[in-house]
Homo-oligomer: A and B are copies of this chain.
Amino acid sequence: MTGELAALRSALTTTDVDGYLIDAAGDEPEQRYVSGFSAPDPFQTLVTDDGVHLLVSGLEYGRARSEADADSVTNTAAYDAQDLRDEYGPREGRLRTIEAFLADHDVSSIAVPQHCPIGTADGLRDLGVDVTVEADDVVGEIRATKSGAEIDAIHETQAANQRAMAVAEGLIAAAEVRDGVLYHEGEPLTSERVTTEIEIALLREGCALDETIVACGADAADPHDRGSGPLEAGESIVIDIFPRDKETGYFGDMTRTFVRGQPSDELKRRYDATDEAFEAALDAIEPGVTGDEVHGIVCDVIEDAGYATLRSDPETDTGYIHGTGHGVGLDIHEGPRLSFGGEELEPGHVVTVEPGIYDPAVGGVRIEDLVVVTEDGYENLTDYPIAIEPEDRR
């Protein structure tokens, strides 16, 4: 971590604080990134000039000492956490334990991330610690630029993701169509069934996921609808899968849209416009271009095709109603953003590219790959065909 955190250390020097404190759940992405440790319960990570220091309960102490990427690990018992809790109650006792940890490292002023709980920040202030918000998200910027090992981890999750997509596409391709509904083994093929098969495929790959989108028809026109019920022929089926490797913690992310049978001319037109916007975005990706510019290029294509965007109409609920992409790493949504105000792209940024066009009356279309920005353009971490007609690739 030492090299990666240099920018954070110089920010601490500039703002004249003694340390940077992360008080967060053990699976919170920034916590995991800086500490190199993952735990079910919250713990504290302190970054100072002389290293990365962890404060964990006795329950995590042994594992933290062997697994964390830290210069020191301290058990809360070393600061008599139990006595403090008995004397001051659980809330103030916890704060006084953190205060003792800070004092032990000669820290009396800290910067905290924007996501730091106000209960901790104001509580430490009440105990005399000087707390300021690190408003520039320096760690977020550090995290946005991936190392080779991080890119490999994301690439691996994305490869598992592709095998899960093949399971889903295969189910749709192999389904029988009766009265406009897809059937699998005599039962209607539902969003829920396809989702389950995707998730089982990913579990077997060592990945976990909270949510998967398999949305058909009007459901697919709401980009955040998970989808439900029988899949229908002639309607668009949007499949968006964003698994996390359980071991490394890194996410993948991809979306494909399929239509079994004949799509309407209008649906096909929207698919082609989305595909064109997708290709235009990829063509634009290189160091120096901003996420704002890439998003603008996608809006150009979609507006030229005759559809609304949030740029042409900020209140529209049909057309192109989301950003073009986001960074992916230990969090599914992190920097940089490929949308209004999006940052300048740099080598090592890993971003999704995912334009779409939506209307409940027609359905939804979205196409999404995951790419890494390189010195002279990008490398696509996704290797999966883009076609509206499903094929059985299992």
Q: Is the CB of B85 within 8 A of A341?
A: yes
CB distance from A320 to the nearest CB of B (A): 11
User: Could you pull out 30 A-B pairs where Cβ atoms are within 8 angstroms?
Assistant: A39-B224, A41-B224, A58-B315, A58-B317, A59-B224, A59-B322, A62-B222, A77-B314, A82-B310, A82-B340, A83-B314, A85-B340, A86-B340, A86-B341, A90-B337, A114-B117, A114-B118, A114-B119, A115-B118, A115-B119, A116-B119, A118-B131, A118-B133, A119-B135, A121-B122, A123-B133, A196-B204, A200-B203, A210-B210, A211-B246
- Considering the complex of A and B, which 4 residue pairs feature the smallest CB-CB distances, nearest first? A114-B119, A118-B121, A77-B315, A116-B118
Is A33 an interface residue, CB under 8 A from the partner?
A: no
Residues of B within 8 A of A80 (CB): 314
Q: Say if the beta carbon of A288 comes within 8 Å of chain B.
A: no
Query: Could you tell me if A58 and B224 are in contact, using CB atoms closer than 8 angstroms?
Result: no
A89-127 toward B: CB 8 Å interface, digit per residue (1/0)? 111000000000000000000001111111111110000
A223 interface residue per 8 A CB criterion: yes
A60: chain B residues at CB < 8 Å are 224
Say yes or no: B114 contacts A115, CB within 8 Å: no
> Is A90 a contact of B341 with CB atoms below 8 Å?
yes
Is A58 within 8 A of B321, CB to CB? yes
Q: Which listed residue (B62, B131, B133) contacts A119, Cβ 8 A?
A: B133
Taking each of A61, A62, A85, which has the highest tally of chain B beta carbons within 10 Å of its own beta carbon? A62
Seed contacts A86-B341, A119-B133; 4 additional CB < 8 Å A-B pairs: A59-B321, A196-B204, A210-B210, A211-B246
Determine whether A148 belongs to the interface, using a CB cutoff of 8 Å to chain B.
no
Tell me the chain A residues, 235-249 only, with Cβ under 8 Å from chain B. Answer: 246
Min Cβ gap A151→B in Å is 24
- Copies of this chain present in the complex amount to 2
Residue numbers of A with Cβ under 8 A of B are 27, 39-41, 58-63, 75, 77, 80-83, 85-86, 89-91, 112-123, 131, 133, 135, 192, 196, 199-200, 203-204, 206, 208-211, 222-225, 246, 310, 314-317, 321-322, 333, 337, 340-341
Q: Is A75's CB under 8 angstroms from B117's CB? A: no
Contact check, B211 vs A317: say whether CB atoms are below 8 A apart.
no
Q: Which residue of B lies closest to A122 (CB)?
A: B133
**Once the chains are docked, how many angstroms separate the CA of A193 from the CA of B125?**
48
Chain B residues lying within 8 Å of A322, measured Cβ to Cβ, are 59
Cα of A63 to Cα of B228 in the assembled complex, Å: 14
Asked if residues B340 and A58 are in contact (CB atoms below 8 Å), the reply is no
Tell me how far the C-beta of A28 lies from the nearest C-beta in chain B, rounded to whole angstroms: 11
B residues less than 8 Å from A58 (CB atoms): 310, 314-317, 321
Return chain B residues, CB-CB under 8 Å to A115. 117-119
Flag if B341 contacts A89 (CB, 8 Å).
Answer: yes
**Distance, CA A222 to CA B223, complexed state (A):** 42
Collect the chain B residues with CB atoms within 8 Å of residue A133's CB.
118-119, 122-123
**How far is it, in angstroms, between the C-alpha of A392 and the C-alpha of B131 when the chains are bound?**
56
Within the complex, what minimum Cβ distance (angstroms) separates A160 from chain B? 13
Q: Nearest Cβ in chain B — how far from A311, in angstroms?
A: 9
Minimum Cβ distance to chain B for residue A391 (Å) = 25
